[in-house]
Structure 1
Amino acid sequence: MTATDEPEMGPILASIGRLADFKSLDEAELPLLASELREFLIGAVARTGGHIGPNLGVVELTMAIHRVFDSPHDQVVFDTGHQSYVHKILTGRAGRFSGLRRRGGLTGYPNRAESPHDLVENSHASTALSYADGLAKANALSGSDRHVVAVVGDGALTGGMCWEALNNIAARDDLRLVIVVNDNGRSYAPTVGGIAKRLAGLRLSPGYEPALEKIKHTVEGIPVVGHAAYSALHAAKTGVKDALAPQGMFSDLGIKYVGPIDGHDYDEVAEALDQAKRFGGPVIIHALTEKGRGWAPAREDEAEQMHSPSSAFDPITGQPVAAKKRRWTAVFSEELITHAETRPDLVAITAAMPGPTGVDKLMKRHPDRVFDVGIAEQHAVTSAAGLAMNGLHPVVAVYSTFMNRAFDQTVLDVSMHRLPVTFVLDRAGITGPDGPSHFGIWDTSIFRVVPGMRIAAPRDEATLREEFAEALAIDDGPTMLRFPTGAIPAGNLEPVDTREGLDLLVEPEGDELLIVACGALAATAVQAAARLADEGVAATVVDPRWICPVPDALVKLAGQYRLVATVEDGVRAGGFGDALAQALRDAGTEVPLVDFAVARDWHPHGARPELLADLGLTPEAIAERLGAEAERRR
């Protein structure tokens, strides 16, 4: 099969048009179905890119959940819903996978509009147990007999919300709540920290597996069958676990614990789920799985086990079918290393994503100067504050959408203390296929209100290098760089003039129109100006480089024009356009302003160019609107 072929379905998978079809299958057909599911997943995701590694690891687990429980009556919640592809297939959506993560097609995460079996669309990690706590409590209050099943990865357990939820869940014994810990030892990268060590202790304690195997053979000789045999085996396993890992972190909470179990042994998983279902209170099932199960390229990818190829790939080799392009992240990664070599005070922090944020290269070169804190953005920021207090300059590299979580820590722990922490926000703006939970459109609006915060928006490789160096030189407060995902422009957009820190990209004669272009949309603004020139409208284009606070020089410049426009890929409400309008009012400058930005709404998934076109952020749309405005004001 090539990446351009339609993914084929095996005969059993082809017979599943809805969840009831799967639940009616004979038990003997399930092992073959598991193989068909993996083959289908590889073929389908190879066409579009997507989260292949996590889903190959939850095939049997998801099958067992949907055989034991009755969705949507029983409510299934996936933490970081990228592990929901098998769930989508079993609930009747296999025929839509050719459009996975494409405009108008199947989303890469659970989506309530797609199916009544999808409950939670928010795909930020460590939230599922809090959802489940509320769902289960509501069921208890209403007297409902429905169960809640929360599937959470070991990586998500590094997030504080999981433990806040467990603290509350443990206080109740009447919640019909089953927590499945999908433990593959990884999030994007290997799970880190004390939680990881404890889980590894449960998996890998010397003598655990040999002792368990011995008990298993003993139990097989006992003249009991069915649930009784399972209960006897589980009791023996619990004794061995307690002896070898006496401070089991789950059972210490007071929540019933089952495991560890083999998450790829369907019978064992189903039996554990059935036991938990009949227990009547909160139960944690600890299932050991292998990310990328059954696919050689995932096993050979030591860094991420093919967590989420961003585009089409060869289903045999796992290699991308299109030539790789130079990316924004790669440029930042190079600059981070360059500055680290001359600045021993420079350290980096990442929240479970060293590879995707570009700090992995520095981690290999200086492992003692990079801190992966797990899925814990709030902790990352306050830890950075502590590092800065003791004379270091931390660089916190995180996706823009995940930075939203750490607003309080940025304001009170970093800004209030005027600490030199540099935040580097990858995936800023409309990111595309991953959909609204991953769009980085809020950062400018949220963080420009932080006292002392300076925000830069580089437009190309040269300005990314320059503005990162400028950020690192600031020692009296926080700085932030934001840039989009994907390929960085092949060439640099050179200014025709530089004035008081502003880059003039287009400077015709006249004072008719000033277009202020933010970051990666600078090229779009320049193209719009060219179209306007063809229509007889003289448009100056300026890149302020630093968009927060609004440069005084920009306010002065804007006052010299009859019409001003701003172009940005962040949300319009509270964005750069709002900031400039406020600065003009404060200066007593009366000049009309048109702001092009992302509407405050939930926008669908799709390719970034498609979504920017929908939002009117193209040269054509900008030129058309500004041409009409200029004509009206003549």
Structure 2
Amino acid sequence: MVRKKLLAGIGSPQDLRELALADLEDLAEELRESIIETVAETGGHLAPSLGVVELTLALHYVFDTPKDKLIWDVGHQAYAHKLLTGRLARFHTLRQYGGISGFPKRVESEYDTIETGHSSTSISFGAGLAAADRIRKNRRKVVAVIGDGAMTAGMAFEALNHAGGMDEDLIVVLNDNEMSISENVGALSSFMSRRMTGKTVRRLRDHVEERLLALSTVGENILALLRKSEECTKAFFTPGMLFEALKFKYVGPISGHQLEDLIPTLTNVRDHNHGPVLVHVITTKGKGYVHAERQPGSYHGVGSFDIASGKPRAQPEAAPSYTKIFGQTLCRIAETNPCIVGITAAMPDGTGLAPFAAAFPERFFDVGIAEQHATTFAAGLALAGMRPCLAVYSSFMQRAMDQLIHDVCLPNLPVTIALDRSGVVGEDGPTHHGVFDLACLRPVPNLTLMMPADENELQHMLYTALNLGSPAVLRYPRGAGCGVALDAELKALPVGRGELLRAGSDLLLLPAGNRVHPALAAADRLARAGIQAAVINPRFLKPLDEGLICAWARKTGRVLTVEDGCIAGGFGSAVMQCLQRHGLYVPVRTLGYQDAFIEQGPQATLWREAGIDSGGIEQSALAFLKR
């Protein structure tokens, strides 16, 4: 391992620019060592950040950051960027409660242009910055670094189309880690790119074009032939014609791990290109850590691990996750129902659909990072008689609200949305917390919204949703289930019916989804203090079991709702509107998240801070009752 002798002296990219090329090579190894050592302790996005170490060095070496704007897309590849921009001393707090974020964050550093936790936004941000710079006559460079996976999203191509048409001074760096171009072709293209963007050749080409255009029609014909020759060469060796068609000058592909290639190419682009340009960089995901290079998908996002073996560190044995139970249940249902289809937006492992993909490959679709398309694609399948199930993270589904409303719910098609990672998700922080889904989904007509109290209820709810014949959302949290036994036989639950779990006369506790078991624990503690709290598991947020809720609200005279979501427009709001419709004006208190973004931290810590764990529910009940 390289002895740490350079990284400690880098307080900002200005220090970096004082180093020689050979020093940068050593610094790259130190950066990798620091990233691996830290992520082995904290967990995080390992492989993406290891793959862009040299690219990060080259970008900060060539461009005058933070005056020049650097936008990371997605932000999980920005660990080396954080280390080079004054956060070395706090890097050990990565993704920890009260520590630095795992993504770019403007309050952390002036070098973080914008918060980016989801993909495919960088070109749009960059185009906006470049357009504003032109209007305000602000002379600086804007660089958007977009991963190849993010290019599967429609938003990225919408931005390319617009930015190319505007002809703004924007640089897009395509971080291509799929290795779809062989090394030989890549080396030739790297040679071509450096030569074609060099100062002398640029000057010569501009001079030739000027002289030929002066020859009127004959010159124009010769120039067209020369341009066609250059474009044909590019098209044969590279995907450059796609970007050239969008009016981006294409440069590349070049190796993303050779600083002697990266630095002169980026320098030429910086100094001699005006208008939109795309630099195609080939990188290896997980570069420098053998286990991550061999299995980049497995090391994309990891928990703490042993560096030598690459194996996860032993954790206390936990119940199977909600995600795993979902995947297993979908496979069970699909065995007897040939109409079941599984859909994911580039997350087969994360959403638990990998076993379904292996068992039913002809009925599995990964559409890439394209939640909008995935939703309408599911609607098309449903229109043809299939029963599609789209598994998607709550915070990613936010992008497809229009499609859900217009293409699924308006025509009332039987599409099931398995909404994973609902509620707070932990160390990924505010970009990934799924706390807004209840408020977004609740007003949509024709939509049935279910929330399981545990993993056993989840499997019955999935079965219910897939046999419903209309749009349904199944909302469940990240992480381990409650450890309850799983029923052998799946059954359809009566829609809109909750269940009374505990009778009581002093207070009605109405917890939603994963707050049911903490509420039961709180009721036990309240009973020891002489307070009898009734507990209802609503099961369905929409439609609510209004009869059951109103009956027990009358009996107890007080209602306390609890949800792992935002209070504004959420489950508590639905309960208050229900009581109002029935003319019941009993006191109601709502527990959930206030009108603010929630920082990263362990789920248990965030639940405690919001007062929605068993202790918080108990204390709120006591305060409500003035005990």
- TM-score (norm. length: structure 2): 0.90
Task: Check the 8 A contact 1:176/1:277 in 2, yes or no.
Answer: no
Q: Which residue of 1 aligns with 2:161?
A: 167
Task: Check the 8 A contact 1:299/1:305 in 2, yes or no.
Answer: no
SS in 2 for 1:412: helix
Name which of 48, 52, 57 aligns with 1:58: 52
Query: How far is the alpha carbon of 1:621 from its aligned partner?
Result: 2.1
Query: How far is the alpha carbon of 1:461 from its aligned partner?
Result: 1.6
Residue 46 of structure 1 aligns to which amino acid in structure 2? A
Query: How far is the alpha carbon of 1:348 from its aligned partner?
Result: 0.9
Task: Check the 8 A contact 1:12/1:33 in 2, yes or no.
Answer: yes
Name which of 307, 325, 330 aligns with 1:315: 307
Within 5 A, what are the aligned runs for 1:194-213?
200=180, 203-204=181-182, 208=185
Distance 1:226 1:308 in 2: 39
1:10 equivalent to 2:4? Answer yes
SS in 1 for 2:388: strand
How many residues are treated as equivalent by the alignment?
Answer: 595
- CA deviation vs aligned residue, 1:209-266 (integer Å, no higher than 9, x gap): 58659x78xx99x9x9975489999x99965332346872111111111011111111
Q: Which residue of 2 aligns with 1:574?
A: 569
Distance change >3 Å, CA 535–CA 246, structure 1 → 2: closer
Distance 1:142 1:360 in 2: 50
1:275 equivalent to 2:268? Answer yes
Residue 313 of structure 1 aligns to which amino acid in structure 2? F
Distance change >3 Å, CA 75–CA 210, structure 1 → 2: closer
Query: Tell me, which stretches of 5 or more residues in structure 2 are unaligned?
Result: 206-226, 488-492
Distance 2:510 2:395 in 1: 24
Distance 2:579 2:506 in 1: 17
Give the stretch that moved more between structures: 46-55 or 275-284.
275-284
Give the stretch that moved more between structures: 329-338 or 224-233.
224-233
Q: Which residue of 1 aligns with 2:475?
A: 482
1:545 equivalent to 2:545? Answer no
Distance 1:168 1:246 in 2: 20
Distance 1:331 1:282 in 2: 47
Distance 1:136 1:567 in 2: 45
Within 5 A, what are the aligned runs for 1:159-558?
159-173=153-167, 175-185=168-178, 200=180, 203-204=181-182, 208=185, 227-228=199-200, 240-244=233-237, 248-278=241-271, 279-301=273-295, 304-309=297-302, 311-323=303-315, 325=318, 326-475=320-469, 477-491=470-484, 501-508=497-504, 511-557=505-551, 558=553
Q: Which residue of 2 aligns with 1:32?
A: 26
Distance change >3 Å, CA 34–CA 161, structure 1 → 2: same
Task: Check the 8 A contact 2:21/2:259 in 1, yes or no.
Answer: no
Q: Compute the RMSD of aligned alpha carbons.
A: 2.7
Residue 555 of structure 1 aligns to which amino acid in structure 2? I
Task: Check the 8 A contact 1:156/1:375 in 2, yes or no.
Answer: yes
Distance 2:539 2:370 in 1: 30
Distance 2:304 2:561 in 1: 35
Distance 1:240 1:598 in 2: 57
Distance 2:518 2:203 in 1: 65
Name which of 604, 614, 617 aligns with 1:619: 614
Task: Check the 8 A contact 1:259/1:287 in 2, yes or no.
Answer: yes
Q: Which residue of 2 aligns with 1:157?
A: 151
Within 5 A, what are the aligned runs for 1:64-143?
64-143=58-137
SS in 2 for 1:439: coil
Identity %: 41
- CA deviation vs aligned residue, 1:316-375 (integer Å, no higher than 9, x gap): 222110236321111111001101111100001111111000111111111111111111
Residue 620 of structure 1 aligns to which amino acid in structure 2? G
Q: Which residue of 1 aligns with 2:559?
A: 564
Residue 475 of structure 2 aligns to which amino acid in structure 1? R
Distance change >3 Å, CA 518–CA 598, structure 1 → 2: same
Distance 2:336 2:182 in 1: 41
Task: Check the 8 A contact 1:561/1:591 in 2, yes or no.
Answer: no
Give the stretch that moved more between structures: 284-293 or 269-278.
269-278
- TM-score (norm. length: structure 1): 0.89
Distance 1:32 1:538 in 2: 67
Task: Check the 8 A contact 2:234/2:240 in 1, yes or no.
Answer: no
Distance change >3 Å, CA 245–CA 91, structure 1 → 2: closer
Distance change >3 Å, CA 211–CA 109, structure 1 → 2: closer
Distance change >3 Å, CA 297–CA 409, structure 1 → 2: same
SS in 1 for 2:87: helix
SS in 2 for 1:627: helix
Task: Check the 8 A contact 1:292/1:298 in 2, yes or no.
Answer: yes
Distance change >3 Å, CA 53–CA 628, structure 1 → 2: same
Query: How far is the alpha carbon of 1:560 from its aligned partner?
Result: 2.8
Query: Tell me, which stretches of 5 or more residues in structure 1 are unaligned?
Result: 2-7, 186-198
